[in-house]
Structure formats: C-alpha cells, structure tokens
Amino acid sequence: MTFLGMPAFAPRGVGHLRGDEPFPAAARTALGNSQMRRNLRHATTTIRGKSGRVIAELPDWQDLRSAGSAIKADVMSRLPELLEELETRVTTAGGTVHWAADANEANEIVTRLVRETGSDRVIKVKSMATQEIALNEALEAAGITPVETDLAELIVQLGEDKPSHILVPAIHRNRSEIREIFLRAMPGVDPSLTDDPPVLAAAARRYLRETFLSTRVAVSGANFAIAETGTLAVVESEGNGRMCLTLPDTLITVMGIEKILPTWRDLEVFLQLLPRASTGERMNPYTTMWTGVTPGDGPQNFHLVLLDNGRSAVLADEVGRQALHCIRCSACLNVCPVYERTGGHAYGSVYPGPIGAILSPQLTGIEDNASLPYASTLCGACFDACPVKIDIPSILVHLRNQAPHPRAERAVMATASRVMQNPRLYARAQRAAKLARIVGRRGRGLPPPFSGWTAGRDLPEFPDQTFRDWWAAR
Amino acid sequence: MSSRDLILGRVRAALRDAPPAVAPVPRDYRREFPAADLEILVDRLVDYKAEVYRVPPSEVAATVTAITSRAAAASAPASSAAGNDAAVSRDAAVLVPPGLPEAWRPAGAFPDDGLAPDRIAAADAVLTAAAVAVAETGTIVLDASPDQGRRIITLLPDVHIIVLRPSQVVASVPEAVARLTPGRPLTWISGPSATSDIELNRVEGVHGPRHLHVILLEGDDGD
C-alpha cells in the first residue's frame, strides 16, 4: 500500500517501461540479428562522427555542459515552486494545465480532451512521454486514431514495430527495409518507390499532407518548458512538429514534470547542447516556441498535461535523481558498446541504452527492471558523451546494489566482507584459494552452484606462492 | 486530494527526505561575442542547403522574381518546357505577410489577410522578413511580427524566401535568446526541412518548405 503524498513508481499494467523478458535473454535474441547489428553500427558510427565534429567547433563545450548540469540540479532542488510558476504563466497566457499522477490518469485526460473536440483522429509529434504511457493504445481503445507524423515513428507505426532509439525510433531499419514497409503499409504509395532516402522522405510528405490539413487536434511532447515565461519548446527536423503545433485548433502537450527550465535565458545553454549532442547538427532545422495561446496564430485551445508516472520516486533517490536531468538527446546510446550490439528492443522499455538502464528501473521500481543496471560494461563512454554530465556509471553501480540478489550470492558476499576485514582470516583464505585450481581448472570453470559465475568469466590464475608467503620467506 | 496536490506533495516529500545540495550555476561559457561575421552566416546557411543572395534593398523584388521563375522552370514538366512560355512567364503567386515593406514585393505578390490553408498551400512561394539570425549556427528566427506573419504562412508553401538585414545577425545563440521576446510565437529555422531518420544521415525535404532562400541585404541597412 502506498501512502498518499509519498513518491510513487509508475504503475504496472500500463505503458512501455517494462519488457517481457530480462535484458540478458532479450539481448541474446537480438545479437542473432546480424542485419540489425549492421544497421546499428552504420548509424551510430555516422552520428558519432557528425556529433564529434560540431562539438569540436565550440571552444566552451565543457563550460556549457557544466552549466547545463547545474541548471538541471537547480531545477530538481526547487521543482515544486517551478511547477507552480509554470502553471501560473501558462494559465495567464491562455492555456489550461492538467496534472497526471501516472500513465492511466494522463491517458484518461488526453482521451477526454480529444473527445470534447469531437475529433476521432489526432496527429502526433514524436514524444517519449506519450510512448512511455502508451497513449496511442489508449486512444485506439477509445476509438480515436493516432497518426504518428515523425518519419521514424511513422516507419515504426506502419511496420507494426517498436521504437528502438530515443531520437530515431527506426534506427534498426535500413533504407531498403523502410522501402518495403512503405510499399506494404502506406496507403496510396507509388509502387515504383525506390530506396533513395529523399524519395522515401517525399513519400512520407505526400502521405501525411492531407492528414495535417484536415486534423483538428494534435498531441505533442515538449523539450523544454520555461517556468518564468510559460513558454514551451519543441525541437525537431522535418516540419511535422511545426504542422502539429500550428495547424490544428487544439493542441495537447504531455510533458514529464522534470522538463522544466527556470528562466528564458537558460535556453541559451540547452539550445547549444541539444542539437550538437543529438543529431550532430549546429542547430536542428526547426524549433517552435509558444506561450499559451496567440490570438489568430496557431491552436486556439492549448492544454498542458504535467506527468509524474514515477518521476517523484526517482527524485527521492539522492544518487539516482540525476537521471531526471536527461534532455533525451540519445548521445549515450550512440556511444554505448552494449547498445550498438543489442539494439534498443532488448532493454524492454521506451528508454533504451545507458540512460534507459538507469531511468527505467527507477521509474518502475528496481524489482521490475532488475537486470537493466547490468546492461553495461561500466566503460564510462556515456558519461563523457552526456551533454548534461549525468554520471551514468555511478548510478548503474548504485542501482546494482539496490537490485535483488540471490540468497547464495548475498551469503558469499557477506562472508567475503567478513574475511577481508580480518587479516588472519584473509591470509588463510588466500592459501585456501589455491584449492580453486583443483575444483576449477583453467578453461573449465567452477562446479555448481558457482558455475553460473564462471559461465562468462575466466577464473584467475592463482600463483603458487602468495605475496604474504613470499614476504615472510624472504 | 487533487492530482495536483498529490504530485506536488510527492515531490516535496522526495526533496524533504533527501535534500539536494544547492550550488550556483557556473556560467563560464562564452557570453561576450564580437560583431557577427556575415561570411560565417553565409557559410552555415549554404552548408544546410539554403541558397543565399547578397543584394542591395532596391533589388529585393527582382531577386524574388528570379528565384520563383527558376523554381517554376525547374518544376515544369519537361514536355511543356520547350513551347509553353505562358506557364513560365506568368507572375508567380508570392504570398507575403501584411506588414512586409511594399518595396520588397514582386509582381504577383498577394498578402495574407486570413487566407484559408489551401490558398496558402497553393502559393508558389512565401516571402518574409525575420527577427534575428545566428551566424554560428546558420539559424534564422521568425517572431510573427507583421513583416513575418502568422506561423502557417511560412509552413505550407514549398519555397520560403527570407529577407535579412545585416543588423539582425548576431554571432551566437545566447545573443539571439537575449534579443527575442518570449511571449511571441517563435520559429527557429536552420535550412530547409530535413530528416536524419534514415540511417542518421541528413536528407533535405520532408514536411516543411523544401527550398529556403535567404536574401541578405547589402550596404544600407534598409528602412
């Protein structure tokens, strides 16, 4: 039973934060897909090169990272007052603010708001928050058709697939696979479609044009919300975001409570960090900023849905709360040796890669994603790449300590701890360790019940003489 | 208990039980910049496949006409290109915001007076001014002032032509953020519509205007 007012995890039974199987099992399956591994290696290599080049153009990149990190820490430390300030500003500017404690409530609010417009279709801008809460499924259950308008989301939706990357949900698909999906599932597509990327992009343009012009409700996420002014910002590339944020009568934005920035000026930091870290551009093609409702320009009804869904529980962890600093750039995915090989689906959550490995278990409670903190080699590349300096490796280790461990492992570790604290016991244990050479000869591993430990590791070679013995005999 | 009170209560409880260390934000990144270098702006714009023209204010209208007639010739079917001069020589329908300076308007300009979306989409091009441009990133920001118009007019036509005054160009993002007014609807544009969704390579031309032309005024800073 949870107590009202205490931080709460994202509820079970709704949303896309929990996988069907633990990471090691899902990763084993994914590693067998050599086409996907080739696609991922190609895409992540491309983006690492582009991103590295444009980051090198800024002499103050490290200073920007430090500022970004400190601004986010400041946001977390006074989140309640900033949320209230944002609510006041948005309301004053003509918007309506809704509060959703979890995925179920957010889905109910959005469904009700769409129903009130009388529309049976919504156009959507790519949004991690709405993926997290499975809004599309909720809308479909209510007889409302959600149309994803981001090219990669469209590829995923038409392919009846799942997103595998934060920024490019169809990163696991190459051009010829995308062509096949379009030929199979895009109504009215030209049968002579080639796999040339501009041709594929043009096909999406033709397909969605009429939908953009005739749909009266849009649903979006938000990259930033400025508490001081009530301004919302969506950063995008294709112009589908501009379409959704400009053409409809009603705009519904679903945003995690951690996305807030205190002041207008803080944008000067994040608009430099985000594009260079995410798509490797000096600036993304389009960014839209709006404040409530502007008479005669854009949607005349604006609703902002503020979503908790486990975020307050993340905030309650002194070490783990840094995960809420994430600006969803996906740089950590692109540099991760584990992600590059397993792809995003293996993580089981809409948040894959290193950031997913620390965010998903904290949003759901560690029991529901206990294997994710181990989906890492702790190499630290993600920490270096993160534009807001989230110390992902430290949080991974912190979460590994919280994850449930088998009784035998706990007993062994407790014993090891006692032995290592006592010099005489330790010396005896070192000599006894030579026995391990007898039970587990090199290359063969330990016998049960310890065989699991050596299944993926080599036993160290123990010397004939310990250092202590050598020192005593010297 | 409302969800608002519930969420705020949860957040307060989380911070109360584990109070965060508060430190001032270090703003050691660059905040003093030299005057904007127009050559850098042009370089960045061209890098993102925008086309740039540097002309005096008196030649804006003629430059727009040259752009639209080339666009018309390029999109005309090859079979009709030879004999059918009428299609090419008619004045292009250039949509302009109501506050655009008269001197910039080419023949065939028609103002947005609350046009329906299909009329806007049917325009051959849209011609606007801008609020601010950032040299370092090749970005132009529109703020819906009368010489830039409603956001919809720069979204549906396939060709967007922007007239930029040198005094509107700043070197960096922080300067642009400082110049802009937060309450206005803002559109930051860096090149034509593009996507990186296919194998993470940038491809121009998805839903927004597929062609971006920038007329950078020379000499006198205009009106």
B150: chain A residues, CB-CB within 8 Å: 296-298
DSSP state at residue A392: H
Whether the CA torsion A290, A291, A292, A298 is positive or negative: it is negative
Check CB contact under 8 Å for B6 and A4.
Answer: yes
Alpha-carbon distance A234 to A419, whole Å?
56
Check CB contact under 8 Å for B8 and A80.
Answer: yes
- Residue A390 resides in a domain: no
Domain boundary pick from A311, A344, A371: A311
Interface probe with A: pick from B10, B134, B141, most Cβ of A within 10 Å: B10
Alpha-helical (H) ranges within A118-251 are: 128-132, 135-141, 151-158, 175-185, 197-214, 240-246
Alpha-carbon distance A273 to B39, whole Å?
24
- Residue A26 resides in a domain: no
Contacts by B64-69, CB closer than 8 A, 24 or more apart:
B64/B94, B64/B104, B64/B106, B64/B125, B64/B127, B64/B161, B64/B215, B65/B91, B65/B92, B65/B106, B65/B107, B65/B108, B67/B125, B67/B159, B67/B161, B67/B213, B68/B92, B68/B94, B68/B106, B68/B108, B68/B124, B68/B125, B68/B159
DSSP state at residue A16: S
- Residue A39 resides in a domain: no
Exposure string for A438-460, b = 16+ CB within 10 A, e = fewer: eebeeeebbeeebeeeeeeeebe
| pLDDT value for B222 | 46
Interface of B with A in 15-54 (CB under 8 A): 15, 17-18, 20-30, 44, 48
Check CB contact under 8 Å for A297 and B12.
Answer: no
CB of B106 within 8 Å of a chain A CB? The answer is no
| pLDDT value for A447 | 74
| A108 shares its domain with A232 | yes
Domain span including residue A221? 66-311
Half-sphere exposure of B114 (CA within 13 A, CB side): 2
Q: Examine the pLDDT at B214 and tell me if it is beyond 60.
A: yes
Alpha-carbon distance A356 to A94, whole Å?
35
Domain span including residue B64? 34-217
The pTM assigned to this predicted structure is 0.92
Check CB contact under 8 Å for A80 and B134.
Answer: no
Residues paired with residue A96 on neighbouring β-strands, in sequence order: A303
Tokens 């930033």 -> residue: A224
Name the closest residue on chain A to residue B6, using Cα atoms: A5
Among A361, A302, A419, A383, smallest CA distance to A23 is for A361
Alpha-carbon distance A85 to B78, whole Å?
59
- Residue A211 resides in a domain: yes
Whether the CA torsion A35, A36, A37, A42 is positive or negative: it is positive
- Residue A361 resides in a domain: no
- Counting the structural domains of chain B, the total is 1
3-state secondary structure chain B: CCHHHHHHHHHHHHHHHCCCCCCCCCCCCCCCCCCCCHHHHHHHHHHCCCEEEEECHHHHHHHHHHHHHHHHHHHCCHHHHCCCHHHHHCCCCEEECCCCCHHHCCCCEEECCCCCHHHHHCCCEEEECCCEEECCCCEEEECCCCCCCCHHHHCCCCEEEEEECHHHEECCHHHHHHHCCCCCCEEEECCCCEECCCCCCCEECCCCCCEEEEEEECCCCCC
- Residue B20 resides in a domain: no
Helix (H/G/I), strand (E/B), else coil: A118: coil
| pLDDT value for B223 | 46
Q: Which of A384-388, B76-80, B147-151 has the lowest mean pLDDT?
A: B76-80
Higher pLDDT, B201 or A437: B201
Peptide bond just before A449 cis, omega within 30 deg? yes
Interface of B with A in 148-187 (CB under 8 A): 150-152, 155, 173-174, 177-178, 182-187
Length of chain B: 223
CA distance A423 to chain B (A): 37
CB of B116 within 8 Å of a chain A CB? The answer is no
- Cβ neighbours for A214, distance < 8 A, ≥ 6 positions apart: none
Cβ atoms < 10 Å from Cβ of B78: 6
In tens digits, what is the pLDDT along chain A, a chain of 474 residues? 455 678 899 999 999 999 999 999 999 999 999 999 999 999 999 999 999 999 999 999 999 999 999 999 999 999 999 999 999 999 999 999 999 999 999 999 999 999 999 999 999 999 999 999 999 999 999 999 999 999 999 999 999 998 889 888 888 999 999 999 999 999 989 999 999 999 999 999 999 999 999 999 999 999 999 999 999 999 999 999 999 999 999 999 999 999 999 999 999 999 999 999 999 999 999 999 999 999 999 999 999 999 999 999 999 999 999 999 999 999 999 999 999 999 999 999 999 999 999 999 999 999 999 999 999 999 999 999 999 999 999 999 999 999 988 888 889 889 999 999 998 998 888 877 776 666 655 566 777 777 777 777 877 777 778 888 889 898
- Main-chain phi, psi angles of B11, to 5 degrees: -65, -40
Check CB contact under 8 Å for A212 and B12.
Answer: no
Tokens 């606007």 -> residue: B128
CA distance B94 to chain A (A): 20
Residues paired with residue A77 on neighbouring β-strands, in sequence order: none
Alpha-carbon distance A40 to A34, whole Å?
10
* CA dist list (Å): A154 to A133, A185, B151, B219: 18, 10, 24, 47
Domain boundary pick from A261, A292, A311: A311
| pLDDT value for B220 | 55
CB of A267 within 8 Å of a chain B CB? The answer is yes
- Residue B103 resides in a domain: yes
Q: What value does the mean pLDDT of chain B take?
A: 91
Contact A388, A69 (CB under 8 A): yes
A315: chain B residues, CB-CB within 8 Å: 11, 14-15
B10: chain A residues, CB-CB within 8 Å: 5-8, 308, 312
Tokens matching residue B90: 């008619």
- Residue B28 resides in a domain: no
- Residue B92 resides in a domain: yes
Give the neighbor-by-neighbor strand order of the sheet with B51-55: B51-55, B211-217, B159-164, B125-128, B94-96, B109-111
Alpha-carbon distance A200 to A141, whole Å?
31
Among A259, A305, A308, smallest CA distance to A101 is for A308
| pLDDT value for B74 | 80
Tokens matching residue A341: 């090989």
Among A328, A41, A75, A275, smallest CA distance to A172 is for A41
Alpha-carbon distance A170 to A63, whole Å?
33
DSSP state at residue A20: S
CA distance A299 to chain B (A): 11
Higher pLDDT, B71 or A322: A322
- Residue B98 resides in a domain: yes
Q: Give the type of residue at A119.
A: S
Contact A17, A363 (CB under 8 A): yes
Which CATH number fits the domain that encloses residue B118? 3.40.50.10420
- Counting the structural domains of chain A, the total is 2
Alpha-helical (H) ranges within A93-196 are: 103-117, 128-132, 135-141, 151-158, 175-185
Q: Which of A67-81, A148-162, B66-80, B194-208 has the lowest mean pLDDT?
A: B66-80
Tokens 């930029």 -> residue: B164
Check CB contact under 8 Å for A238 and B193.
Answer: yes
CA distance B106 to chain A (A): 25
A226: chain B residues, CB-CB within 8 Å: 182
CA distance B33 to chain A (A): 13
Give per-residue pLDDT as tens, B96-144.
Answer: 999 999 999 999 999 999 999 999 999 999 999 999 999 999 999 999 9
Interface probe with B: pick from A269, A283, A287, A297, most Cβ of B within 10 Å: A283
Domain boundary pick from A294, A311, A328: A311
- Residue A183 resides in a domain: yes
Length of chain A: 474
Helix (H/G/I), strand (E/B), else coil: A289: strand
- Cβ neighbours for A324, distance < 8 A, ≥ 6 positions apart: A72, A76, A258, A311, A314, A315
B184: chain A residues, CB-CB within 8 Å: 291, 294
Residue of A66, A151, A212 with shortest CB distance to B26: A66
B11: chain A residues, CB-CB within 8 Å: 7, 79-80, 83, 257, 308, 312, 315
Check CB contact under 8 Å for B14 and A316.
Answer: yes
**Mean pLDDT, range B78-91, rounded to an integer:** 54
- In chain A, the largest separation of any two C-alpha atoms, in whole Å, equals 91
Contact A198, A189 (CB under 8 A): no
Check CB contact under 8 Å for A5 and B30.
Answer: no
Among A240, A241, A222, A242, smallest CA distance to A232 is for A222
Alpha-carbon distance A474 to B17, whole Å?
55
- Cβ neighbours for A423, distance < 8 A, ≥ 6 positions apart: none
| pLDDT value for B83 | 46
Residue of A71, A105, A201 with shortest CB distance to B195: A201
Which CATH number fits the domain that encloses residue A143? 3.40.50.10420
Alpha-carbon distance B102 to B100, whole Å?
6
